[in-house]
């Protein structure tokens, strides 16, 4: 169920071309505060491209991106991140030789004092900052898996796929985003791990006030379980929108995505 009514994100006529290929074709989408919106469609339909345009990796060729009432179209990636948009990627970008804590702190750099004078001469303040950061990272990790929160200084490479996904999501959440973008979080996981991750996402939405999520996912059971609303893309165009059951029964969606002739 939707927790809020304030609009967090809006795409209006969003268009992205790569040469002669139209990856997004006048795409419209809205996300309200507290919602989990599923973005689904066949491979190459424009789902990840929409994330990349929103987060400043690609420049839009047309249309607008509005976040919290402000036009952020074609903002640089760092500025979008600082505004309150965070994400995960299809392929893991964790530093496997570093600890859980170190990896999560990579996502918190905007809140840390990086000044040389501070780090060298204000040692008490530096230590206090690290202690506070550790407590915050541990508290966040506890939301997803309490036993994992007791292993904060172990190397990420020693953990299985679902734990790595949890760490990646915590790294995205440590910056206190208003909008979290999850790009195929169940990739490479077993059916049981996927079910566990669904529970994690729902718990995070309940416990983190004001958090909205857009979820790109091919696992339809996950989409059905966790989303409030789905948007379906095909060849860069929105072909359907609504609750999962509406979308799954739509003839165009079945033809384009579910393989029904």
One digit per residue, the tens of pLDDT, for the chain of length 261 reads: 444 458 999 999 999 999 999 999 999 999 999 999 999 999 999 999 999 999 999 999 999 999 999 999 999 999 999 999 999 998 888 999 999 999 998 877 555 445 555 455 555 665 676 778 889 999 999 999 999 999 999 999 999 999 999 999 999 999 999 999 999 999 889 989 999 999 999 999 999 999 999 999 988 889 999 999 999 999 999 999 999 999 989 888 888 765 554
User: Which token pair is 245?
Assistant: 């059951």
Distance between CA atoms of residues 135 and 121, nearest Å: 23
Global pTM reads 0.88
DSSP 162-177: HHHHHHHHHHHHTT--
Residue 127's pLDDT is what? Answer: 67
How many CA within 13 A on the CB side of residue 74?
Answer: 9
Q: Is 186 exposed, middle or buried (0-12, 13-18, 19+ CB in 10 A)?
A: buried
Domain 1-84+177-261: what homologous superfamily?
Answer: P-loop containing nucleotide triphosphate hydrolases (3.40.50.300)
Q: Where in the chain is the domain with CATH 3.40.50.300?
A: 1-84+177-261
Sign of CA dihedral 69, 113, 173, 94: positive
Distance between CA atoms of residues 178 and 157, nearest Å: 29
């Amino acid at each position: 169920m939707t927790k809020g009514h304030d609009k967090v994100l809006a795409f209006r006529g969003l268009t992205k071309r790569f040469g002669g290929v139209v990856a997004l074709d006048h795409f419209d989408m809205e996300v309200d505060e507290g919602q989990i919106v599923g973005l689904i469609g066949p491979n190459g339909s424009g789902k990840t491209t929409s994330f990349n345009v929103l987060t400043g990796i690609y420049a839009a060729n047309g249309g607008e991106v509005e976040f919290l009432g402000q036009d952020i179209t074609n903002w640089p990636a760092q500025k979008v991140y600082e505004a309150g948009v965070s994400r995960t990627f299809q392929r893991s970008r964790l530093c496997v030789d570093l600890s859980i804590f170190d990896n999560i702190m990579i996502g918190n750099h905007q809140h840390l004092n990086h000044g040389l004078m501070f780090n060298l001469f204000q040692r008490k303040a530096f230590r206090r900052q690290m202690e506070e950061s550790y407590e915050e990272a541990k508290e966040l990790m506890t939301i997803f898996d309490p036993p994992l929160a007791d292993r904060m200084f172990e190397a990420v490479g020693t953990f299985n796929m679902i734990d790595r996904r949890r760490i990646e999501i915590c790294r995205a959440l440590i910056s206190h985003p208003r909008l979290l973008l999850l790009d195929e979080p169940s990739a490479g996981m077993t059916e049981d791990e996927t079910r566990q991750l669904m529970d994690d996402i729902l718990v995070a939405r309940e416990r983190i006030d004001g958090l909205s999520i857009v979820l790109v996912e091919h696992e339809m059971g996950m989409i059905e379980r966790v989303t409030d609303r789905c948007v379906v893309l095909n060849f860069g165009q929105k072909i359907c929108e609504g609750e999962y059951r509406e979308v799954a029964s739509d003839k165009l969606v079945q033809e384009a995505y579910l393989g029904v002739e």
